């Protein structure tokens, strides 16, 4: 990892993913797994059940959730993705401020490499929230794209 002009390092040889590429990878992943796929279906995980499992970026030495699958396709190694466990996708960009309530948390976050541009991190955060709510991946993708590209009917009408 190398230091950028921010306090956070960048991943050497792997520029932060851009929004368009994140959407392309997400679309390809949904095409592979099917429109009705839900996070955990292939791993026996039910995030809505307290004893049903937990969301992880890396499980059994492979990318687990859609965010991890997108970033792994982009070139982010699994060992780097695993450093993000317990950290939401929005913090994959330097644009999101570190939480100030815990010096330990801020210190940990400042050591994680920047994996996404601010727009891409926002998109990944939307995907992550939808998948963790057990939305089908096609619906999660469509919803996230509508929000980040401002194409939803309510956004166009200004509601």
- Per-residue pLDDT of 105-133, as tens digits, reads 777 777 888 899 999 999 999 999 898 88
Q: What is the pLDDT of residue 155?
A: 38
Mean per-residue pLDDT for 139-152?
A: 87
Distance CA 102, CA 55 (A): 23
Distance CA 125, CA 119 (A): 10
Residue 101 confidence class, pLDDT cut points 50, 70, 90: low
Q: What is the pLDDT of residue 88?
A: 82
Q: What is the pLDDT of residue 23?
A: 97
Q: Are strands 58-59 and 9-10 parallel, antiparallel or unpaired?
A: unpaired
Q: What is the pLDDT of residue 52?
A: 47
Mean pLDDT of the chain: 81
In sign, the C-alpha dihedral spanning 62, 56, 137, 68 is: negative
Total-model pTM: 0.81
- Per-residue pLDDT of 23-77, as tens digits, reads 999 999 999 999 999 887 666 665 555 444 567 888 889 898 899 999 999 999 9
On the CB side of 96, CA atoms within 13 Å amount to 23
Buried/exposed 122-153: b ≥16 CB within 10 Å, e otherwise: bbbbbbbbbbbebbbbbebbbbbbbebeeeee
- Tokens at residue 66, please? 């859609």
Contact assessment for residue 14 and residue 116, using Cβ atoms and an 8 Å cutoff: no
According to DSSP H, which parts of 34-116 are helical?
A: 66-74, 78-81, 103-111
């Amino acid at each position: 990892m190398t230091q950028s002009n921010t306090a956070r390092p960048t991943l050497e040889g792997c520029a932060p993913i851009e929004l368009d590429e994140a959407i392309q990878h997400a679309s390809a992943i949904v095409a592979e797994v099917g429109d009705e796929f839900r996070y955990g279906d292939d791993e026996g995980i039910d995030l809505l059940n307290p004893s049903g499992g937990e969301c992880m970026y890396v499980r059994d030495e492979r990318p687990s959730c859609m965010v991890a699958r997108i970033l792994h396709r982009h070139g982010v190694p699994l060992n780097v993705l695993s450093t993000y466990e317990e950290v939401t996708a929005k913090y994959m960009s330097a644009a999101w401020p570190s939480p100030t309530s815990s010096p330990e948390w801020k210190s940990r976050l400042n050591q994680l490499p920047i994996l996404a541009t601010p727009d891409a991190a926002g998109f990944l955060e939307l995907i992550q929230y939808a998948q963790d709510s057990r939305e089908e991946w096609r619906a999660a993708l469509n919803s996230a794209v509508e929000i980040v590209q401002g194409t939803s009917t309510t956004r166009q009408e200004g509601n």
